[in-house]
Structure 1
């Protein structure tokens, strides 16, 4: 009896560990071009596959990453996504790409990708980029910031699920490209999520969490928050 329980325990732990360490599911075929079918009766963790007989080279290609994004926003940056919704051929491949344009002193605000790590390469300009660690095990320690100045040709990695950012510290525009190990990494911009949620988060919660007066919280909840 004890042996059977131990075997069951080990099998369960193996399943948990394998799921916990996985990112996007591994493909079981050469490709699975996504079909935009909101009325499909089958739910899958990803997209439904297009019939291979109707797949074309265009399903694996996208244009436009040579164009500068609209950097006239309040934060002074623009992210051009190449996720599965923009490029259906990415479905089940576990990768995606973004181009990030920055105006002078433009910011890609602190955000997280809940489903992906990210590797960024600077093409033009000078960026101050970094990430913040999760809660340390020692209660007397603070979350640690890892950040540095990046120049053209420099590469920086942002671990999965950690808060990270990029800030253009130069006087001219900047450009970076980043790859992520998910076809749909998800983006949670912290300020947008906390102060611009629908319905609004209780102002008492935010006031206590940020040690701010409720009037300031109410103001922050009243201003428009844009998705980058």
Structure 2
């Protein structure tokens, strides 16, 4: 019985350590194909104590039931229409689209930008560093360092150019060319998170007190209120 108590305590301690990890935990098996079906989970000894277990929010499919399709996605070369308010559209490939990617600590996205000003507005990936490669068009990109410096690093990118955005820093991309642009972005997390600064600040639910935002952004409170209504 003492051995069982020790094992349970050890598992709980190991689970707790993942909450303070600075990056996705390293896998301890070849793969963990994501599934929402708890009847298809791997039935190892661990499940003697925990009948329902999530790994990064997903159940693990029994590895004997995995297929090549679990590690495959097609159509990533197909363009998408970026004619929206910001002029860009993101096509993400994570464990939702590729179940076999679960626990491997990576994901990728295709970004299509409209001509002359299409942008991926200032945003943050709270859990990942991003590396971007331009496939078509010309982008102006940049990131801003943390306080107290708030230093801007910016660069003009052409096809074949690569740029890195460190984890947790505000960054952006803008198409400065006369034609549509395309880039691929890779992340060292299967779920990098995407916090759009303007949407988070002015579009929160419930809204942030306009007095707070007016003071923070040195703006008239009526302007803040209008921006909240538009978000």
Give the TM-score normalised by structure 2.
Answer: 0.83
Which range is displaced more, 81-90 or 187-196?
81-90
Structure 1 residues 158 and 204: alpha-carbon distance in aligned structure 2, compared to 1, 3 A threshold: same
- SS of alignment partner, residue 194 of structure 1: helix
Which residue matches 2:172? 165
- SS of alignment partner, residue 212 of structure 2: helix
Which range is displaced more, 17-26 or 85-94?
17-26
Q: CA deviation at 1:181?
A: 0.2
- Aligned positions of 1:146-157 closer than 5 A: 146-157=153-164
Once the two structures are superposed, residues 113-143 of structure 1 have per-residue CA deviations (whole angstroms, 9 ceiling, x without a partner) of 000001000011000001000113xxxxx31
Q: CA deviation at 1:42?
A: 3.0
User: What CA distance in whole angstroms lies between the structure 2 residues aligned with 1:176 and 1:38?
Assistant: 37
Once the two structures are superposed, residues 172-195 of structure 1 have per-residue CA deviations (whole angstroms, 9 ceiling, x without a partner) of 000000110000101000001011
CA contact (8 A) 1:120 1:156 kept: yes
User: What CA distance in whole angstroms lies between the structure 2 residues aligned with 1:62 and 1:205?
Assistant: 45
Q: CA deviation at 1:38?
A: 8.9
Structure 1 residues 61 and 191: alpha-carbon distance in aligned structure 2, compared to 1, 3 A threshold: same
- The number of residue pairs the alignment matches comes to 204
From 121, 128, 134, give the equivalent of 1:122: 134
Once the two structures are superposed, residues 168-223 of structure 1 have per-residue CA deviations (whole angstroms, 9 ceiling, x without a partner) of 00010000001100001010000010111111111111111101111111110111
CA contact (8 A) 1:46 1:92 kept: no
Structure 1 residues 201 and 41: alpha-carbon distance in aligned structure 2, compared to 1, 3 A threshold: farther
Once the two structures are superposed, residues 25-65 of structure 1 have per-residue CA deviations (whole angstroms, 9 ceiling, x without a partner) of 00000000011259994344342211112211111011121
Segments of 5+ residues of structure 2 without an aligned counterpart are: 1-16, 40-50
Which range is displaced more, 35-44 or 113-122?
35-44
Q: CA deviation at 1:69?
A: 1.8
CA contact (8 A) 2:55 2:103 kept: no
Which residue matches 2:224? 217
Tell whether 2:40 aligns with 1:33.
Answer: no
User: What CA distance in whole angstroms lies between the structure 2 residues aligned with 1:98 and 1:38?
Assistant: 28
Which residue matches 2:77? 66
CA contact (8 A) 1:46 1:91 kept: no
User: What CA distance in whole angstroms lies between the structure 1 residues aligned with 2:159 and 2:36?
Assistant: 37
- Aligned positions of 1:1-228 closer than 5 A: 22-37=22-37, 41-104=52-115, 105-136=117-148, 142-223=149-230, 225=231
- SS of alignment partner, residue 164 of structure 2: strand
Give the TM-score normalised by structure 1.
Answer: 0.84
